[in-house]
Amino acid sequence: MELLIQSTGGYMNETQKKHKYNIKILPNKYNQFAWIHEDTIIGKNCWIGAFVYIGPNVTIMNNVSISNGVQIFDHDTSYYHATNDTNEPKRHNIIIGSNTQIGANSVIIADNDNIKIGDHCIVGALTLLKQSTPPHTIFAGIPGTLRKTI
């Protein structure tokens, strides 16, 4: 039986802790039940809910609210796993602009290019976002589409 260790409110076994990408998930000041990669840059006045995963190569500007259950990935491994491709998936940068709100259980995936979510944006709950968004917009749905300019 593998020894379980507590990390950021969740439990990981030794294999998960030594992930092949050398990803380290550390306790954080935002939420004990959020998993935030150590290389993530987070601005001032941000709120991050429970059960959030934020991978590497993510920059979060000031005054951002990330609701419970949000997942932010710098790559997409679906093709990699489906085809048993031996190449590592390409990783991209994600920037979340200032004064932006990401709704509950949304997923942001940078699969083909870098993503910039503009300042003063809203990403609706349960949205799958795989593209950049202009400032002052609302995106929602699967896939995430422009719903309104604000």
Q: Which residues contact 102 (CB under 8 A, 6 or more apart)?
A: 64, 65, 66, 67, 70, 96, 108, 117, 123
**Does some domain include residue 81?**
yes
pLDDT grade, residue 127 (50/70/90)?
very high
In a domain, 1, yes or no: no
Residue 2 lies in a domain: no
Position with higher pLDDT, 19 vs 44: 44
pLDDT digits (tens, 9 = 90+) for 25-35: 556 788 888 99
In a domain, 96, yes or no: yes
Quote the domain boundaries for residue 136.
24-149
Contact status, residue 30 vs residue 50, Cβ threshold 8 Å: no
Q: Are the beta carbons of 125 and 67 closer than 8 angstroms?
A: yes
For residue 144, give the nearest of 64, 126, 134 by alpha carbon: 126
DSSP 89: P
Residue 129 resides in a domain: yes
22 confidence band (pLDDT: 50, 70, 90): low
Please give the tally of structural domains in the chain. 1
The CATH number linked to 87 is: 2.160.10.10
Alpha-carbon distance of 131 to 115, in angstroms, equals 6
Closest to 60 measured CA to CA, from 23, 19, 22, 101: 101
Q: DSSP per residue over 107-134, as a string?
A: EEE-SSS-EEEPTT-EE-TT-EE-S-B-
Question: What pLDDT, in 10s, does the model give residues 37-72?
Answer: 988 999 999 999 999 999 999 999 999 999 999 999
Residues 76-126 have pLDDT tens digits of: 877 777 777 777 778 999 999 999 999 999 999 998 889 999 999 999 999
pLDDT of res. 26? 59
Q: What is the pLDDT of residue 71?
A: 97
Whether omega for the bond prior to residue 143 falls within 30 degrees of 0, making it cis, is yes
Nearest to 137 by CA among 146, 126, 129, 125: 146
Residue 17: inside a domain: no
